Amino acid sequence: MNTPRSREGNLVRYLVYFVVFVFTALADNLAIKSPSISIWNVILFLVLAAMCLLFYIYRYNREQCFFDSRFNVPWLSSFNFTLLLSFVVAAGRIGISYLQLYKGMPASGLQLAYASHSTSALYWFMMLANGLVLPILEEYLCTGFLFNYWFRTEKKGVAYVGIICSGLFYAILTFQFTPAIFAFNFAFGMLFAWSYLSTQTIWLPLYLAALNGVLTVVTIAV
């Protein structure tokens, strides 16, 4: 039960991680949906986010000792690969903005929340919460823990299923269920998962998810 080799233990641990994330996401939703940014809502989010992030980092690093790390590749050593994936993410965000501006794609929930009471304080809170913190937590949950618990194998078929499941779960956790936006997030999630399998390190998908989150917030004010 206490190691990632226990399926029952993995299920219990994953449910705990999921519940912790949901509470953090609800705190974010409370802050951005309020008529004005409340310092108490911000403090509540920061406390929950800090606890969740530290918990995820501790558990992920602790569980890595149970896995063979000989395939780990420093993601920054492949600058061209990282640059290419960064370009793909940026192009995807620009594509979404273009479709929303000129092709009638509906606005996201984040855009609607910002439009309802657009202030500088709300923008910078969104940059921190929705641009950086939540995307990083989502990647630990949708990629790091998911693959370590259920898709840790060198079989290609299992890897493909894992990438699809990771992308689907990522799209669900963004809570954007408009079909077109959900499809883009599904694709982003699969890209992040593929980058994890390609480098065998969590740092590249964390970076890509944060880049995607920051560009998402940047484009809501455009």
Instruction: Confirm whether 71 is domain-assigned.
Output: no
pLDDT value of position 22 = 95
Intra-chain end-to-end CA distance of the chain, in Å: 49
Report the C-alpha gap between 108 and 87 in whole angstroms.
Answer: 22
181 located within any domain: yes
Query: What is the number of structural domains in the chain?
Result: 1
> Which residue would you say has higher pLDDT here, 211 or 118?
211
Does a structural domain hold residue 43? Answer: yes
**What span, in angstroms and rounded, lies between the C-alpha atoms of 88 and 191?**
9
At residue 194 the predicted structure's pLDDT band, cuts being 50, 70 and 90, is: very high
Quote the tokens at residue 126. 């969104």
Residue 1 lies inside a defined structural domain of this protein: no
**Are 137 and 23 a contacting pair, CB within 8 Å?**
no
Q: For residue 45, what pLDDT band results from cuts at 50, 70 and 90?
A: very high
Q: Taking all residues of the chain, what is their mean pLDDT, rounded to a whole number?
A: 87
Do 165 and 184 touch, CB atoms closer than 8 A?
Answer: no
The one-letter amino acid code at 63 reads E
Task: Count Cβ neighbours within 10 Å for each residue of 151-187 and write b for 16 or more, e otherwise.
Answer: bbeeeeeebeebbebbbbbbbbbbebeeeebbebbbe
pLDDT at 114 over 80: yes
pLDDT for 66 equals: 62
Band the pLDDT of 167: cuts 50, 70, 90.
Answer: very high
pTM for the complete prediction? 0.89
**The domain containing residue 119 runs over which residues?**
7-66+80-220
% of the chain beyond a pLDDT of 90: 55
The candidate with the shortest Cα–Cα distance to 32, out of 129, 142, 164, is: 129
